[in-house]
Structure 1
Amino acid sequence: MTANEPLRVGVNLLWLVPGVVGGSEEYTTRLLRGLAHDLPPDLHLTLFALGPFAEAHPDLVAAYPTVTTRIDGHRKPERVAAEATWLAREAGRRNIELLHHAGGVIPPGPAIARTPAAVTIHDIQPLLMPENFSAVKRRWLTAMIPRAARKAAMVFTPSDPTSQSVVEHLGVPPSRVTTVPHGIEPPIPVSADDVAAVRERYHLDGQIILYPAITYPHKDHVTLVRAFARLAPSRPDLTLVLAGAAGPSEADVVAAIRSSGVGDQVRRTGRIPWDDLTALYGAATVVAVPSRFEGFGAPALEAMAAGVPVVVADATALPWVVGSAGLKVRPGDIGQLAGALARVLDEPAVHATLAAAGRVRAAHFSWDVAAQDLAAGYRAAAAMGETRPR
């Protein structure tokens, strides 16, 4: 890059299999949309992505030069090989000066190592809760995440607590870590007709506790189901809605629902369209996020922006996201979770206070601000250069 030319940044999205990687897909794609909205003239971004990405996110393909590979990303060895060879070759052809690996690791190999790198580490759960991962994935991530942190010119994370964990557990100097938080679009009021339609679609009456999350172990659906079982018998019009795809803990969640005695008051929607989820936020009485580990915690932010009270586990990034605008409970504490939910369900003053505070808190997060943080991080990474050879 010369004084008159923009910094040529490549964004490695080969890890992003649409509909599979969960919240990191939403974070990355919305962040890129925010940056495209007002791309600084000193930056030029090129996306390197899977073919299905172009089909799932045509607006981003229209916003940025995008180079796609034919692979679909479902076979990890094939994807890693493509990062080490195809990506390195295509980045070289386009004179990319900084490669942003947005999926948490920097690919191995001498060819890809020629281009200075930045990396987004969404969280370090594989290092702190390795039992939540398969043996193969655990070995890969426990080797590759620390390596990425060492090699990157700049590490991006989605929250201050995650940034602190990268500094403390991976030994990265604070000067090489930048928080680029999630944002939230200005809320659009959900019409009464849309709320009524989603209630009818998913057979919902009365009060609703909503938890939108894939059934990963750390999401701790089981604690929520058990807390709900304490509330539901005396509240026959109360429904627990678990919105999200099936994950590794699916069998445990199903077993917990079956043994709860109140399974008829639980709705499983599976993965649903964003419009349906927005309407569910409009219908919900309270959103519960009992997750034991979050790099950020987007459902809590989405709920607050919609004016829905939140009850979250007092763990990792969740307290940072909600501040004083939500109720916090000990992770895994069934009684505390049931009690906090009961307060929101039964005390109108608590409900109203949390709803108002949540809207104020959510207003502190925007994709435009996050995009500015990302742009600043790119500039800092380019100025710093990689500090260690691969």
Structure 2
Amino acid sequence: MTTAASTLLVDARVLHASGLGRYLRELLAEWLRDPPFRSIELLGDPDALGAFLDAHPTGASVRVVPHAGRVYSARSQWSWLAARLARGARERVTFFPHWDVPLALFPRRSVVTVHDITPFRVPDAFTPGKRALGRPMLRHAVRRATRVVCVGQATASDLGEWFPSVARKLVAVPNGVSQRFFGRPPGPPPLDESYVLCVGNQKPHKNLGAAVDVLAALRPQFPSLRLVVAGGRDTPTPIARARAAELGLGDAVVELGAVDDDLLHRCYAGAAALLFPSRYEGFGLPVVEAMAAGAPVVASSTPAVREVVGGAAPVYDPDDVRGMAAEVRTLLTDPTLRATRIADGRERASQFSWARAARETARVLHDAAGEARAPARRPLTAERA
């Protein structure tokens, strides 16, 4: 797929983050397999990038550009400035997989991916300091970028609603799902008992308190049922644990913290259901991964999740604990319906591909390389989600 465009610079600092890291790793793996540019520069930690490149041989010319400083840090901004001055004005297009972008000397040709607009839609998900930084940085990123990739139509609509002036540059490119989740899990489930699974961090908008309430509604009929929570802990007192303590269900909630891909696959494959009651999402990757792995999904009716589910699983208002509990109860007692939900979910998940996401994102990058800050080839008008 290589064309006349010379160099792609990829901001790879989030290579080993959870959600953002998976997005970046999957795209990079595809681009190294089928290089979209003659030369690729990866900006980030040399050791981490070196290990990643060793695991993904490529025919492209690849160079690692060391970059110091954590995301959102002043040191990182200084590193951006120094690197840009050192490289000069050489023609390249820059890909940012997230909106943590340089505030000075912004690249002339660039593509920024926006996964959600949580700083605007759910400001309480951030500390005051991060909120004060995140909102202007996201605004800066989408206004200065040549193109903006959104991980779904719901996110594109959200962004267009908040920033109508950038609607012409928005391009919806849905995330994919790793093929590993369609295969046999690499081991047994994390628990012997039946469990409902939640995947994600514990920020308030993830609504894990409602998941515990669903468990409480089911325990009288299924006294050994447990709730497994997989994901980083983003609050001083994890919400699921706190709500379980209030209801006297402390021993029924198992918090695994951050998990690797093997354990995540085992969690999905062994779950009675994935419960995803989030109040706001930009995409909802755990929903697609769970469907691929054969876990029936019970999800919230937020626009991005509805878009991803596509009718393959029931959706409920995030506050409808009774409805979600009734659905899980049916999945536990009706094997025929359960089999139908699993089959429908796998069919839906098969429609998401990281290879396609990489190809479509590469096309956006070539659009950006061809004409800086011009309208996207496939514009999206601003609309409400």
Instruction: State the one-letter code of the partner of 1:189.
Output: G
Instruction: State the one-letter code of the partner of 2:184.
Output: V
Q: Is the 8 A contact 2:32 2:56 kept in 1?
A: no
Q: Is the 8 A contact 2:7 2:39 kept in 1?
A: yes
Percentage identity across paired residues of the two chains: 27
Match of 1:353 in 2: 340
Equivalences, count: 371
Q: 1:348/1:303 Cα in 2 relative to 1: closer, same or farther (>3 Å)?
A: same
Match of 1:177 in 2: 170
Q: 1:119/1:376 Cα in 2 relative to 1: closer, same or farther (>3 Å)?
A: same
Aligned mates of 1:336, 1:287 — CA distance in 2: 15
Matched, 1:39 2:35: yes
Normalising to structure 2: TM-score of the pair?
A: 0.88
Runs of 5+ unmatched residues, structure 2: 376-385
Aligned mates of 2:239, 2:269 — CA distance in 1: 29
Match of 2:255 in 1: 268
Matched, 1:73 2:70: yes
Aligned mates of 2:115, 2:296 — CA distance in 1: 25
Instruction: State the one-letter code of the partner of 1:145.
Output: L
Q: Is the 8 A contact 1:163 1:179 kept in 2?
A: yes
Match of 2:96 in 1: 101
Please, which of 12, 15, 20 is the counterpart of residue 24 of structure 1? 20
The 5 Å alignment of 1:1-390 reads 5-14=4-13, 16=14, 18-19=16-17, 22-40=18-36, 42-51=37-46, 53-54=48-49, 57-59=52-54, 63=58, 65-69=62-66, 71=68, 73=70, 76-83=73-80, 85-92=81-88, 95-109=90-104, 112-113=105-106, 115-186=108-179, 187-190=181-184, 194-195=187-188, 198-199=189-190, 204-248=191-235, 250-386=237-373
Instruction: State the one-letter code of the partner of 2:227.
Output: L
Q: 1:52/1:170 Cα in 2 relative to 1: closer, same or farther (>3 Å)?
A: farther
Q: Is the 8 A contact 2:108 2:372 kept in 1?
A: no
The RMSD of aligned alpha carbons is 2.5
Aligned mates of 1:211, 1:145 — CA distance in 2: 28
Q: 1:250/1:43 Cα in 2 relative to 1: closer, same or farther (>3 Å)?
A: farther
Q: Is the 8 A contact 1:51 1:71 kept in 2?
A: no
Q: 1:227/1:57 Cα in 2 relative to 1: closer, same or farther (>3 Å)?
A: same
Q: 1:4/1:185 Cα in 2 relative to 1: closer, same or farther (>3 Å)?
A: closer
Task: Note the C-alpha offset of 1:174.
Answer: 4.3
Task: Note the C-alpha offset of 1:51.
Answer: 4.2
Q: Is the 8 A contact 1:293 1:315 kept in 2?
A: yes
Runs of 5+ unmatched residues, structure 1: none
Task: Note the C-alpha offset of 1:136.
Answer: 1.3
Normalising to structure 1: TM-score of the pair?
A: 0.87
Aligned mates of 1:206, 1:251 — CA distance in 2: 23
Task: Note the C-alpha offset of 1:314.
Answer: 0.7
Quick check: 116-125 or 98-107, which moved more?
Answer: 98-107
Match of 2:378 in 1: none
